[in-house]
Structure 1
Amino acid sequence: MTQATRAFFEARGYLEVETPYAVPTPGEEVHLHVFATERETPEGQRERLFLHTSPEFAMKRIVAATGEKVFQLARVWRNGEGSALHAPEFTMLEWYHPGADMSDLMDETETFVRRLLPPTVMREGRTIPIDVPFERLTVAEAFTLHVGADVLATEGDAAALAEQAGCALRTGETWEDLFFRLLLERVEPVIGRERPTFLTHWPSSQAALARTCSHDPRVALRFELYVGGVELANAFVELSDAVEQRSRFESDRTRRQALYPDRPVWPLDETLLSALPSLPPTSGIALGFDRLVMLATGAPRLSDIFWLQ
């Protein structure tokens, strides 16, 4: 599968890259916990580093500098994770396609997944066809169908979302908390079961590193891919506005420090922020390669396709 992945991207004119794993800034996602390490110079100076949670920042700097299409099969680390679908160390496939919009990237992702997976896969006793057109469903459509709520009209109002969803709001639960609870409990269990599903156009508060839609600023140009209840990939039409990205990073850092005051603090990636204005219109995606192998082999758990830990 690794060989087939390299052949797929090389045939499409992608350049394979390899970026550092130990970095000063490992990412900015609020709820991801990191592994800390230290670099010692020959002169005895010490610098605190972290194992990255994604190669995204470094890869976007490469695209900004070169304009090239790039891909990487990278080892990534996320501390404190462990379940049937999570591991503290795993392989992430990321690729960045200058000139591609969200529809283009979904087309390319669908072609890649079909190339790597058999015509059908088995997951939790269910047969999922892969050789069919993948479903494309917006988050708003998914919440209307499976939650009975208007997720965009209620954004930021946890009580209104809870009322429409017919559920009790938990003590201290924010709109974002409730959004992800409903996504986990009511949406994810029912999508991607009959065929793979792209869940698209996320609420703007969940944009992360994605652009917001010029036609509807309530939504971000972001999608995730689900196959048989497995979240396989997360993608953005990449934000190139450094001022907006800095504001989002600072907001995430404030929230992370409030939620996890004992966790380490690292510097903002000023090199990335400096490079963003040079980033051409680009779409990028991170795909859990181990999960793809798990689906291909029919293994129920990630640990079944890893060598001994």
Structure 2
Amino acid sequence: MKPNSPAPSPWWTPDVHADRRPFLIARNRIQLALRSYFAERDFVEVDTSTLQVSPGNEAHLHAFRTDAIGHSGATTPLYLHTSPEFACKKLLSAGEKRISCFAHVYRNRERGPLHHPEFTMLEWYRAGEGYETLMDDCAELLAVAAQTAGMERLVYRGKDCDPFAEPERLTVADAFARHAGIDLLETIRPDGSTDRNALAQAMAACGLRVAPDDTWADLFSRVLVERVEPLLGFGRATILCEYPVAEAALARPSPRDPRVAERFELYACGVELANAFGELTDAAEQRRRFGLEMAEKQRVYGETYPLDEDFLAALEIMPEASGIALGFDRLVMLATGAARIDQVIWAPVAETAP
């Protein structure tokens, strides 16, 4: 075998495929049920292009790059998108009101029981509707997926969750207080800027590791990953909401408290399933945030991605909206009891040999 060539895959042997096939057939049934769910609510299903001028501008998401070759032989860099979000928001700017999208998306440097370099994202957007409506959608979709798969519980690694129970709604600040004993909002100033030293001191007091070069964002992520996320979504799903505005990504600040944003994530069985925003429509603010994200990407990884100027122009006329991205393969995993994401993907990407 040549160095870095794909390792022989077990997926195509009949016995292995026979073991996977029930999960795959359930996947098809769940996808059909979710399509019906959105169609019944007057959503238009859209099909966005995979190739984009920018794959997205989050510091810790990694893309696959290619080059488009023109008739003259000149090349233009393009990327496989990490989400159809930019394209969907352009369609909202163009006048669509309710849209849904099953999109294959691509993320480099990601592989494991819950990660695959190519996976399916289900995104949906509601123009003129608040992000709380998306919370109701999530509760209903969990029930639809489980009922379609014939399961009474969502299951992952021996832990379960009732998909028919109303999800718990928990703010990030309350989660930090409950699971880590940290007053998160005390580390965020009224203008949304953050106090790195205050968070570092609070973490040291509760026995969490702090490195001298950790930023506030690094520390926030460590608490979230080590103390909070592993305890979410057991018994019933958890909607973790009101992220700090410094972690808003593409979400708008909350009118209730400028220190937090209209962002939530959905968890079940300790697994993150979805990420939702009350969408930011301030193009200048979005450009500023992208700049900060790309500066951090340059600092940590030594690379950046271009901005999608077409998207930023569309944002100028985009209506107030809410939107959400849900990992469809993960939902299928939990609804069928699969142990790994590649069990629910029809044709997994072969792993590269060392």
Range into which the TM-score falls when normalised by the shorter chain: over 0.9
> Are the counterparts in 2 of residues 234 and 287 from structure 1 also a CA contact under 8 Å?
yes
Match of 2:63 among 34, 57, 71: 34
Query: 2:199 aligned with 1:158, yes or no?
Result: no
Q: Which structure has the highest strand share of the two?
A: 1
2 CA distance for matches of 1:170 and 1:136?
32
8 Å contact from structure 1 (residues 75, 90) kept in 2? yes
Deviations 1:119-160 (A, max 9, x none): 312222123111111100000000111110111111323332
Q: Give the one of 244, 264, 280 matched to 1:223.
A: 264
In the other structure, the counterpart of 1:199 is: 240
CA contact (8 A) 1:85 1:301 kept: yes
Residue 122 (structure 1) aligned with residue 151 (structure 2): no
1:178 aligned partner, one-letter code: L
Q: What's the CA shift string for 1:76-119, capped at 9, x where partnerless?
A: 00111111111111000011111221211101121122111233
Q: Which residue of 2 aligns with 1:242?
A: 283
Shift of 1:44: 2.9
The separation in 2 between residues aligned to 1:103 and 1:194, in whole angstroms, is 22
Query: TM-score, normalised to structure 1's length?
Result: 0.96
Q: Secondary structure at the match of 1:213?
A: coil
| Number of the residue aligned with 2:174 | 141
Q: 2:315 aligns with which of 276, 288, 293?
A: 276
Larger Rg: 2
SS of aligned partner of 1:225:
strand
Counterpart-to-counterpart distance in 1, 2:305 and 2:238: 36
Find out whether 1:19 has 2:48 as its counterpart. Answer: yes
Classify the secondary structure of the residue corresponding to 1:71. Answer: strand
d(CA) in 2 for partners of 1:19, 1:308:
22
1:22 and 1:49 in contact (8 A); partners too: yes
Identify which of structures 1 and 2 has the higher relative contact order when contacts are C-alpha pairs closer than 8 Å and 6+ apart.
2
| TM-score computed with the length of structure 2 as normaliser | 0.84
CA deviation map 1:170-195 (0-9, x unaligned): 23111111111111111111111121
- Supply the distance in 2 between the matched residues of 1:126 and 1:58 (Cα, whole angstroms): 36
Counterpart AA for 2:121: M
Partner of 1:161, secondary structure, is helix
What secondary structure, in the 3-state scheme, does the structure 1 residue paired with 2:261 have? strand
Give secondary structure in 1 for the equivalent of 2:39.
helix
Residue deviations 1:11-46 (CA, integer Å, cap 9, x gap): 110111111111111100101111011112344332
Unaligned runs of 5+ in 1: none
Give yes or no for contact 2:56–2:305 (8 Å, CA) kept in 1.
no
The verdict on how the C-alpha distance between 1:177 and 1:266 changes in structure 2, with shifts beyond 3 A counting, is closer
Partner residue, 2:10: none
Distance 2:78 2:161 in 1: 42
Please give the alpha-carbon distance, in whole angstroms, between the structure 1 residues aligned to 2:331 and 2:165: 17
Residue type at the aligned position of 1:296: A
Per the TM alignment, residue 308 of structure 1 is displaced from its structure 2 partner at its CA by 4.3
Instruction: Name the SS for the 1:60 alignment partner.
Output: helix
State the SS of the aligned residue for 1:278. Answer: coil
The size of the alignment, in residue pairs, is 307
1:171 and 2:229 correspond: no
Aligned partners of 1:138 and 1:200 also within 8 Å: yes
DSSP-derived class of the 2:249 partner? coil
Q: For structure 1, which segment, 189-198 or 160-169, has the greater mean C-alpha deviation from structure 2 after superposition?
A: 160-169
Any stretches of 5+ residues in structure 2 without a counterpart?
1-29, 189-193, 350-354
User: Is 1:254 the counterpart of 2:295 in the alignment?
Assistant: yes
Residue of structure 2 in register with 1:101 after alignment: 130
Instruction: Kindly state the Cα deviation for residue 256 of structure 1 after the two structures are TM-superposed.
Output: 1.1
